[in-house]
């Protein structure tokens, strides 16, 4: 069985933190300080006997390890294949989280991360809900702000969960949800993907894991949840009640705007014995990698359809893992890079800058990319500017309410009309 505890036990690079730390800022401070290490906090000041873990998905090598892949392209291929060929998980009669049961949030070590946060936030929560018409489940990651011990506000962007919530609201019904916390990273990778509506992301996780995800049926909610979850919160999204959500530090490292968002009323809380609570640091490496991985896969897939070969796709660290993209391609003519740039904008509408480079450029080296721009780019020929396009709600420089932004594409590839030998880096034999 794929579980968080098994992942932590077999992970070779876990740093145990034995200092007594508070859920108010102190744990978040350590998560930020050691972002490239998986951390396990063994002594939580306000919650003795509970554990907090974080920075699980802290590098691309870890993603390859989790998915048993040797390259970025194999990672992308596996994710897309799992979304297109999901596998129904087995139903089990027992579950890890059934050890304890409560009726509120008092026993969950929910963190307060940054100084202006609207409240403590659950950041690794996979919210599971069912379409009231088709009965098909959806599982997706959403941030949850704690209002009090019985209520949370949930940020729902206009995607699949919003569609389900809207259907329930139009029927005059509250929406039953199950919130899973403390999951194996392979489930988080699946839940962060966006397969077509009607594809259950738990099925996607089961495919990625080679049929190693089991589910348990919650009778009260009428939902199937992963048996290996450390914590399950049962509740309902209220059809007619909203509250302010935020401020919250999003992937950009800046505060997202405060919005009126739906309220979740908590009914039951189930917990494993000595539960592990997974905290994703907002704007940290784990946040960026999880949020951007599927988008990279889609960009790779779509761009591969219009140019001969795509070596690499990277949503850059400086671009918040979301807004800027570098694509390494092998081109057949001087029009290929511009086609790649425009296709990338279409594949991931939140992008505001795309740089196309040749295969000899390292997409993970900002200096190498800048060198390509310096030596292979001419602004009057190789610059694309598109005004008033759909952008991202998390970009503070954009029109965040109307989702409008301007976009820039840079063709930093070697022009065919010039002698290629003038563009190759000199080597010492």
Digit-coded pLDDT (tens) for 33-81: 999 999 999 999 999 989 999 999 999 999 999 999 999 999 999 999 9
CATH no. for 286-416: 3.40.1670.10
- Note the pLDDT of residue 127: 98
| Dist CA 356 CA 333 (whole Å) | 13
What is the average pLDDT value for the chain, to the nearest integer?
Answer: 94
Check if 256 is active-site. no
Q: What residues contact residue 56 under an 8 Å CB cut-off, 6+ apart?
A: 4, 7, 38, 62, 185, 188, 278, 286
The position carrying tokens 């108010």 is 24
Q: Let me know: does 50 contact 106? Beta carbons within 8 Å.
A: no
- Note the pLDDT of residue 226: 98
Range from 5-14, 240-249, 271-280, 362-371 carrying the lowest mean pLDDT = 5-14
The 3-state DSSP class for residue 298 equals: helix
pLDDT above 80: residue 343 = yes
- Note the pLDDT of residue 80: 96
pLDDT, one tens digit per residue, over 168-189 is: 999 999 999 999 999 999 999 9
- Note the pLDDT of residue 404: 86
- Note the pLDDT of residue 126: 98
| Dist CA 362 CA 344 (whole Å) | 19
Locate the domains of the chain by residue range.
Answer: 286-416
Catalytic one of 72, 200, 214, 250? 250
- Note the pLDDT of residue 248: 96
């Amino acid at each position: 069985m794929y579980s968080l505890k098994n992942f932590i036990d077999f992970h070779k690079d876990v740093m145990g933190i034995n200092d007594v730390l508070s859920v108010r800022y102190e744990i978040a401070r350590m998560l930020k300080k050691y972002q490239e290490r998986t951390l396990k906090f063994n002594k939580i000041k306000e919650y003795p006997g509970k554990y907090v873990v974080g920075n699980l998905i802290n590098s691309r090598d870890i993603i390859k390890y989790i998915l048993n892949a040797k390259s970025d392209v194999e990672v992308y291929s596996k994710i897309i294949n799992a979304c297109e060929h999901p596998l129904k998980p087995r139903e089990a009669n027992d579950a890890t989280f059934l050890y304890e049961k409560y009726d509120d949030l008092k026993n969950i070590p929910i963190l307060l991360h940054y100084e202006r946060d609207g409240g403590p936030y659950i950041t690794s929560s996979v919210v599971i809900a069912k379409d009231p018409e088709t009965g098909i489940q959806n599982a997706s990651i959403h941030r949850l702000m704690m209002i009090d011990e019985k209520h949370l506000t949930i940020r729902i962007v206009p995607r699949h969960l919003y569609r389900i919530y809207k259907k329930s609201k139009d029927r005059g019904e509250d929406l039953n949800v199950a919130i899973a916390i403390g999951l194996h990273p392979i489930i988080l990778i699946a839940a962060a993907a966006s397969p077509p509506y009607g594809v259950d992301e738990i099925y996607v996780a089961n495919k990625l894991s080679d049929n190693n995800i089991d589910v348990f049926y919650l009778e009260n909610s009428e939902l199937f949840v992963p048996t290996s979850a450390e914590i399950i919160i049962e509740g309902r999204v209220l059809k007619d009640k909203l509250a302010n959500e935020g401020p919250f530090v999003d992937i950009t490292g800046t505060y997202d705007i405060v919005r009126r968002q739906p309220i979740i009323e908590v009914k039951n809380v189930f917990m494993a014995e000595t539960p592990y609570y997974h905290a994703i640091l907002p704007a940290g490496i784990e946040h960026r990698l999880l949020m951007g991985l599927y988008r990279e896969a889609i960009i790779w897939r779509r761009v591969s359809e219009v140019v001969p070969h795509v070596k690499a796709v990277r949503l850059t660290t400086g671009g918040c893992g979301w807004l800027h993209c570098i694509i390494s391609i092998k081109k057949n003519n001087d029009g290929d890079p511009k086609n790649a740039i425009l296709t990338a904008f279409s594949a991931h509408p939140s992008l505001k800058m795309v740089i196309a480079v040749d295969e000899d450029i390292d997409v993970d080296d900002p200096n190498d990319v800048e060198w390509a721009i310096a030596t292979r780019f001419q602004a009057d020929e190789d610059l694309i500017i598109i005004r008033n396009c759909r952008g991202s709600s998390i970009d503070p420089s954009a029109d965040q309410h109307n989702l409008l932004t301007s976009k820039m594409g840079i063709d930093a590839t070697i022009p065919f009309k010039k002698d290629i030998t003038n563009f190759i880096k000199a080597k010492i034999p």
